[in-house]
């Protein structure tokens, strides 16, 4: 059964967003922002970059961490001194007991759910909604664990 975030994931998927895009849209909403350029830039991550490679939920989660922690302008410095915790998100993804220790590829996720990977569509399958929601939640939790308030963006002073 999907929680509130899972339902939001399904609504966004129904609107045609890919798994990676959904993670970013959710993260931007928490900040009270929209960034169509960023969301569009995530489109190629759909369906494991269109050939079943790395799961878009994972790439979206990694980009959400980068949105809060990475360098974006010449005069900026990365938050946390550049110590972005992507390894923690990847480790969690690989060891998440709800996934049964499957490889972090889109094709493996689909195979584990008994769903056929269809790269003709970019929207995540219903079987993936929970994984997208949990990956988003884990990325947000990692930000909080590292002292970053996910509702605050990196404003330019």
Residue 155 lies in a domain: no
Contact 31, 152 (CB under 8 A): yes
pLDDT digit string (tens) for 63-82?
A: 999 999 888 888 888 877 65
Q: pLDDT above 70 covers what percent of the chain? A: 70
Residue 69 lies in a domain: yes
DSSP string for residues in 79-146: GGGG---HHHHHHHHHH-GGGTS--SBHHHHHHHHT----TT--SPPHHHHHHHHHHHHHHHHHHHHT
**Total domains, the chain:** 1
Residue 152 lies in a domain: no
Q: In this predicted model, which residue has the larger pLDDT, 135 or 106?
A: 135
Contact 19, 60 (CB under 8 A): yes
Question: Which pLDDT score is estimated for 37?
Answer: 95
Question: Which pLDDT score is estimated for 22?
Answer: 94
pLDDT digit string (tens) for 45-59?
A: 876 655 556 788 889
Contact 127, 18 (CB under 8 A): no
Contact 125, 110 (CB under 8 A): yes
Cross-strand pairs, 54: 105
Q: Which domain holds residue 97?
A: 4-145
Rounded to an integer, the average pLDDT of 144-151 is 91
Residue 153 lies in a domain: no
Q: Is the pLDDT of residue 132 over 80?
A: yes
């Amino acid at each position: 059964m999907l929680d509130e975030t899972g339902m939001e994931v399904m609504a966004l998927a129904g609107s045609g967003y890919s798994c990676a895009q959904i993670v970013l849209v959710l993260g931007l909403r928490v900040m009270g922002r929209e960034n169509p350029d960023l969301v569009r830039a995530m489109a190629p991550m759909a369906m494991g970059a269109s050939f079943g490679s790395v799961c878009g939920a994972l790439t979206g989660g990694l980009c959400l961490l980068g949105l809060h922690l990475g360098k974006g302008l010449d005069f900026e410095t990365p938050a946390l001194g550049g110590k972005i915790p992507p390894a923690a998100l990847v480790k969690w993804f690989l060891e998440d007991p709800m996934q049964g220790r499957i490889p972090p590829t889109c094709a493996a996720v689909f195979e584990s759910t008994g769903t056929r990977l269809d790269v003709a569509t970019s929207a995540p399958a219903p079987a993936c909604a929970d994984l997208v929601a949990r990956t988003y939640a884990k990325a947000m939790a990692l930000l909080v664990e590292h002292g970053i308030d996910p509702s605050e963006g990196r404003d330019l002073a």
